[in-house]
Amino acid sequence: MKAPAFAYVKPKSLEEVFELLERHGEAAKILAGGQSLIPSLNMRLSAPELLIDITGLKQLANISLEAGVLSIGALVTHAQIEGSEVVRKHAPLLAEAVGHVAHPAIRNRGTFGGSLALADPAAEYPAVALALNATIFLKSEKGERRVAAGEFFKGLFETDLRKGEVLVGAEIPAQLKDERSVFLELARRHGDYAIVGLAAFKGAAGTRFAFLNAGAKPVLARNAAAKESLAEAKEALSKELDPPADLYNSADTKKHLAGVLLARAWNRLST
């Protein structure tokens, strides 16, 4: 199928984007890499009157490290993350996760901010953001807001992005020497969306297990993370996780697989 007719504009500044969002409201949609939005237009799941292409805003396409905080702009592509030495060194969990995001052609265009804004429960970055306690950076005509990942993801494809706001990037605390992380995912084929996945992080403040595709949004398994032994953690996880079944896997299968990933992560974080 082909997309319905729409108008297209490629602003040169964020201010211009804010002005367009204000003027067109719900009728306008931001276009970043287009790897989720364009298929949804082609399938007629969405019919915006105006696409605001933000890929001209090159200031949103940078990765930087300052005072122990890694800043990743919304327009940084998956491929940029994959090739970044800074990400590999200071956010190894994200570096590990990006290898599971789709296939090279999609990684060349799809963006970090697009994935966070879309909030697909099967996507890798929202779970990584949750595990790393990232802060999402939003801007609008009214000013800027910083929202913790734990509060940003609200439900199925639902976030705290408000009317007129643009997601401009995220800030991730750089991983310290004695901190550990691991990303694990089970998929039918490498690069497909996960059946279930786990972004795990262990630091001085404790362990964070963030599961993807195990609920309507990324799920932080707090009870499992608080346990002393793997057996106790698996028991706690089976009570706190309630994944929906999908076309190929029952809820029980997904729960079982989540337990398998938990065991693998537990062992990797302990060695």
Candidate segments 26-34, 83-91, 128-136, 223-231, binder of ligand FAD by CB under 6 A = 26-34
| Cα–Cα distance measured from residue 252 to residue 245, given in angstroms and rounded to the nearest whole number | 8
Q: Which of 18, 21, 32, 261 binds ligand FAD (CB under 6 A)?
A: 32
| Cα–Cα distance measured from residue 49 to residue 47, given in angstroms and rounded to the nearest whole number | 6
**Interaction between residue 251 and ligand FAD (CB under 6 A):** no
Please say which residue, 131 or 236, places its beta carbon nearer to ligand FAD. Answer: 131
**Interaction between residue 117 and ligand FAD (CB under 6 A):** yes
Question: Which residues make Cβ contacts (< 8 Å) with residue 86, sequence separation at least 6?
Answer: 63, 64, 65, 70
Candidate segments 8-16, 109-117, 139-147, 234-242, binder of ligand FAD by CB under 6 A = 109-117
Q: Which of 21, 80, 95, 111 binds ligand FAD (CB under 6 A)?
A: 111
**Interaction between residue 101 and ligand FAD (CB under 6 A):** yes
Q: Which of 70, 81, 118, 182 binds ligand FAD (CB under 6 A)?
A: 118
Size of the site for ligand FAD (CB under 6 A): 27
Nearest residue to ligand FAD, by Cβ distance, number only: 110
| Cα–Cα distance measured from residue 128 to residue 194, given in angstroms and rounded to the nearest whole number | 14
What's the min distance (Å) between Cβ of 177 and ligand FAD?
29
**Strands (DSSP E) along 58-134, which ranges?**
63-66, 69-73
Give how far the C-alpha of residue 241 lies from the chain's centroid of Cα atoms, to the nearest Å. Answer: 19
Q: Which of 81, 90, 98, 113 binds ligand FAD (CB under 6 A)?
A: 113
Residues 34-68: b if buried by 16+ CB within 10 A, e if exposed: bbbbeebbeeeebebebbbebbebeebbebeeeee
- Beta-strand pair 135-140/63-66: unpaired
- Beta-strand pair 69-73/166-173: antiparallel
Helix or strand run (H / E) with residue 254: helix 251-270
**Interaction between residue 212 and ligand FAD (CB under 6 A):** no
**Binding interface with ligand FAD (CB under 6 A):** 29-37, 39, 74, 101-102, 106, 110-111, 113-115, 117-118, 123-124, 161, 166-167, 193
